Amino acid sequence: MSELLKLLEQDGRLTPEQLSVMLDKEVGDIRAMIDDYEKQGVILGYQALIDWDKTDREYVSALIELRITPQRDRGFDRVAEKIYNYPEVKSLYLMSGSFDLAVMIEGRTMKEVALFVAQKIAPMDAIVSTSTHFVLCKYKDKGIIYGSREVDERGNSPI
Amino acid sequence: MIDYSRIISPAARDIRPSGIRRFFDLLESMKDVISLTVGQPDFETPWHIREAGIESLEKGKTYYTSNRGTPELRNEISAYLARRFGLSYSPDNEIIVTVGGSEAIDISIRTIVSPGDEVIIPMPAFVCYEPLVELAGGKPVLISTREENSFKLTPEELRSAITPKTKLLILPYPNNPTGAIMTEEDLEPIADVLRDTDIAVLSDEIYSELTFGRKHVSIATLEGMRERTVVASGFSKAYAMTGWRIGYVCAPREISDNMIKVHQYAIMCAPTTCQYAALEAMRNGDEDIEYMKNEYDRRRRYIVSGLRSIGLECFEPEGAFYVFPNISGFGMTSEQFAEKLLYEKGVAIVPGNAFGECGEGNARISYAYSVNHISKALERIESFVKAYR
């Protein structure tokens, strides 16, 4: 039932009790459905969306474009696996177009990220070229606009 | 010094200020309040609709339109009303684009009501009808609808309110503040009371897209009703466009041709930018309505079940985005209840008597808020209810 998934995608903290009322279903059914989704790997996890710029954590992120020579039989999978096992790599996509893999990397400083690319990624056999783009400002992520505070601007005219 | 008492007209002077002004002043002076008072959607207008407004400005659409509104928009309103509610109005002479549903109500009343006419208003209701009737010199005749009738207007109540002076019945369903609706089965006996009379109906259908579980039925679709009915509606609630102030009013030509005179001298035409945005809304906004409606419906179920589980009696609303729980068991008036809740728990709700005396004993709670917001409010209301139960 995709409505349940959509609600959870918007707000992973909704409890089965809340969801059951909102969707007009038994709590037990909701629990079972969530359980199933988790077992089937449809729901992979629950995370908070954090604007690190508002904290004192030193933080940069970058998008690395990689061009790669695919390997016989395994295509891009083998090299992708080697890359995504690094905890610094936050996301990894195989792309159509002028490069092959898009890697999102997080680190404390630009230097740290650059070194990671130079020392860990670039030397891999299959890598033809790398191109690093640092994120300067995150405007919107996962459907949430960053930086905007939730202020209720609705005029409270009496009724 | 000029004597203002000689300047201000008695009609304006005698409009009663909202009885709960004091309550709202109090609310505004307080910080960290979780408010459930707002009577408008929390969604922003869908982007494609805003874009259409912006594009019209870029293209230099900055002139008056014809008094009734652009022909394109009137065509679209006509098609929309046929598509969604089975209503049939000619774009040429039966539809006027107005400055929100509010102007639609105002010009309807001003076109129909003469001094001394009686206007029947089922209460509790939105606050504008009574003063507008009085400004037109009419006499509001209030019917107190009852919670045990799910706040619907009954034919018996209507019949007993009719006199030879009755000119107009205002039918505000889906209802603000109760969330009540009138189904076809509810409307038929009302229509039956009116059929052989010269009484007109002003059907305020601004919440017509927000009914849950069943589709809204307009009284104008019932046999013999179209000829006497004025349908007032707008874009505010259906498309989350409150700030645009754009609505429309539909009536048989004989009525509409007179309404357009009031409209053209008071307003000229509805804002042009907003008409272009509204056009886009009606052309490509059905999915937006569906999305927002589903969202409201979930919140509705959430808040009704939440209120009931903490022991607040709550009639099941089937339309709009309000619940109207009964708080009469607490030994307080609605205002005392709302004020104490605000002072002690920092939650703001609207006392029911703001919508007429018969709203006493209830309170209006809006669920045009995120589930998270509602959930925090419910926690506080629960501890309040426990303390005073």
Inform me whether the C-beta atom of residue B309 falls under 8 Å from chain A C-beta atoms: no
Identify the sign of the CA torsion A61, A62, A63, A69. Answer: negative
* DSSP symbol at A69: P
For B48-283, give the CATH class: alpha beta
Enclosing domain of residue A98 = 52-137
Query: Do residues A17 and A62 both lie within one domain?
Result: no
Q: Please check whether residue B34 is in contact with residue B348, taking contact to mean a CB–CB distance below 8 angstroms.
A: yes
Cα distances (angstroms) measured from residue B306 to each of A28, B30, B57, B64, B367: 18, 25, 45, 49, 12
Alpha helices in chain B (DSSP H): 4-7, 10-13, 21-29, 47-58, 71-85, 100-112, 129-135, 155-161, 184-194, 253-266, 272-284, 286-309, 334-345, 371-388
pLDDT reported for residue A150: 67
pLDDT reported for residue B339: 93
pLDDT reported for residue A144: 86
Query: Do residues A57 and A131 both lie within one domain?
Result: yes
Domain limits, chain B: 8-45+287-388, 48-283
Does A149 score more than 70 pLDDT?
Answer: no
Give me the percent of chain B exceeding a pLDDT of 70.
Answer: 99
Query: Do residues A57 and A35 both lie within one domain?
Result: no
| pLDDT average, residue stretch B356-365 | 95
* Fold matches, B8-45+287-388 and B48-283: no
CB contact under 8 Å between B37 and A156, yes or no, is yes
Q: Which of B176, B372, B378 is the best residue to mutate to test the A interface, defined by the most A CB atoms within 10 Å of its own CB?
A: B372
* Domain assignment of residue A110, yes or no: yes
CB contact under 8 Å between B301 and A24, yes or no, is yes
Residues on chain A bordering chain B, Cβ-to-Cβ distance under 8 angstroms: 7, 11, 14, 18, 21-24, 152, 154-159
CB contact under 8 Å between B371 and A22, yes or no, is yes
Does B148 score more than 70 pLDDT?
Answer: yes
**Helix, strand, or coil (residue B232):** strand
Give me the percent of chain A exceeding a pLDDT of 90.
Answer: 75
Query: Do residues A130 and A64 both lie within one domain?
Result: yes
**Each residue's pLDDT tens digit, B307-328:** 999 999 999 999 999 999 999 9
CB contact under 8 Å between A156 and B24, yes or no, is yes
- Give the gap in angstroms from C-alpha B176 to the nearest C-alpha of chain A: 9
Does A1 score more than 70 pLDDT?
Answer: no
- Give the gap in angstroms from C-alpha B333 to the nearest C-alpha of chain A: 19
CB contact under 8 Å between B18 and A154, yes or no, is no
Query: How many structural domains does chain A have?
Result: 2
Question: What tokens were used for A41?
Answer: 């790997």
Residue ranges with strand state E in chain A: 60-68, 89-94, 101-107, 127-134, 140-141, 144-145
- Find the helix or strand (DSSP H, E) in which A10 lies: helix A2-10
* Residues from chain A contacting residue B371 (CB–CB below 8 Å): 11, 14, 18, 22
Query: Do residues A68 and A125 both lie within one domain?
Result: yes
* Domain assignment of residue A105, yes or no: yes
Query: Do residues A8 and A70 both lie within one domain?
Result: no
Helices B286-309 & B272-284 angle (0-180, nearest 10): 80
Give the pLDDT band of residue B187 (cuts 50, 70, 90): very high
**Each residue's pLDDT tens digit, A64-79:** 999 999 888 788 999 9
Q: Tokens 């009031």 correspond to what residue? A: B262
Q: What is the pTM of this model?
A: 0.89
* Domain assignment of residue A151, yes or no: no
Say which residues have a Cβ less than 8 Å from residue B188's Cβ, sequence separation at least 6: B222
Query: Do residues A12 and A60 both lie within one domain?
Result: no
Say which CATH superfamily domain B8-45+287-388 falls into: Aspartate Aminotransferase, domain 1 (3.90.1150.10)
Query: Do residues A74 and A100 both lie within one domain?
Result: yes
Does A159 score more than 80 pLDDT?
Answer: no
CB contact under 8 Å between B302 and A18, yes or no, is yes
Query: Do residues A91 and A132 both lie within one domain?
Result: yes
Does A155 score more than 80 pLDDT?
Answer: no
**Each residue's pLDDT tens digit, B57-81:** 999 999 999 999 999 999 999 999 9
Q: Please check whether residue B181 is in contact with residue B216, taking contact to mean a CB–CB distance below 8 angstroms.
A: yes
Angle (CA) B29 A148 A106, round 5°? 140
- Give the gap in angstroms from C-alpha A48 to the nearest C-alpha of chain B: 15
Alpha helices in A11-155 (DSSP H): 16-23, 27-39, 77-84, 110-116
Give the pLDDT band of residue B302 (cuts 50, 70, 90): very high
| pLDDT average, residue stretch B361-373 | 95
Closest residue, chain B, to A24 (C-alpha): B301
Closest residue, chain B, to A23 (C-alpha): B298
Give the pLDDT band of residue A151 (cuts 50, 70, 90): confident
Query: Do residues A30 and A70 both lie within one domain?
Result: no
Specify the CATH number for the domain of residue A115: 3.30.70.920
| pLDDT average, residue stretch A11-33 | 94
Neighbours of B187 (CB within 10 A): 22
* DSSP symbol at B327: -
Does B334 score more than 70 pLDDT?
Answer: yes
**Each residue's pLDDT tens digit, B228-242:** 999 999 999 999 999
Q: CA-based diameter of chain B, in Å?
A: 61
* Domain assignment of residue A99, yes or no: yes
pLDDT reported for residue B22: 73
**Each residue's pLDDT tens digit, B248-260:** 999 999 999 999 9
Does B32 score more than 90 pLDDT?
Answer: no
